[in-house]
Amino acid sequence: MTKYPVCDTGAGGSVYGIRTANLRNPETRKTLALLGAFCFFLSTIEYMIPKPMPFIRIGIANLPLLLALDIFPFHVFLVLAAIKVMGQALITGTLFSYIFLFSLAGTFLSAISMYTLRRLLGSNRISFIGTGVIGAMVSNITQLALAWVFIFGSGVLFIAPPFLAAGLCTGMALGAFCEVFTGRSRWYAARKIR
């Protein structure tokens, strides 16, 4: 197995790893900026894909969140989730609309559930595919619940099946990509929390 260089920060920890993965660490900030930019890029791609309802997205902008599950501690992970939500809102022009609230609620509940599940079960017992599916379902159910309460009422039952099916497929596809990427990437292995 390849050993990756570890730099001493002078604070009793390495540049990578759980003890120094905070927002004061330059490597953490660089990785956060990279994954945040990736969220912006994927949000732009996702925006160009036609949607039957304005708040329905296929979720490809969640890929950086999945990758960040084993890289960042919880507080940095939540910062990335906030960057993703704000980036999507700025790109799509929905910052001051109900769509932003739907995205905010769906993303944060999804992020919290994925992070909690990954920490409780560990990467050995739940794959990125399972984590991605759980995240997609939590996000979709949250958005459907908000749509039920604020917009459609019981009419949401008509859009729920295709919405949940799309989330299931996207969660599986993103999870499968993460499994392959994390298994082959030296960049990812150097940043993974051990």
15 part of a folded domain:
no
> What does the pLDDT look like over 35-53, one tens digit per residue?
999 999 999 998 888 876 6
d(CA 17, CA 191): 7
Distance, CA of 154 to CA of 14 (rounded, Å) = 53
Residue 194 confidence (pLDDT): 66
Q: Is 145 helix (H, G, I), strand (E, B) or coil?
A: helix
Residue at 127: amino acid letter: S
Would 10 be classed as within a structural domain? Answer: no
Look up the CATH number of the domain holding residue 150: 1.10.1760
Residue 2 covered by a domain: no
- 8 strand-pairing partners: 14
In a domain, 6, yes or no: no
pTM of the full predicted structure? 0.84
DSSP string spanning 23-44? TTSHHHHHHHHHHHHHHHHHHH
- Strand, coil or helix: 126: coil
pLDDT tens per residue across span 84-117: 999 989 988 888 888 899 999 999 999 999 999 9
**pLDDT tens for residues 150-171?**
988 888 898 899 889 989 999 9
- The number of folded domains in the chain is 1
Q: State which residues form the domain around 154.
A: 26-191
Task: Please report the pLDDT score of residue 47 as a whole number.
Answer: 86
Residue 153 within a domain:
yes
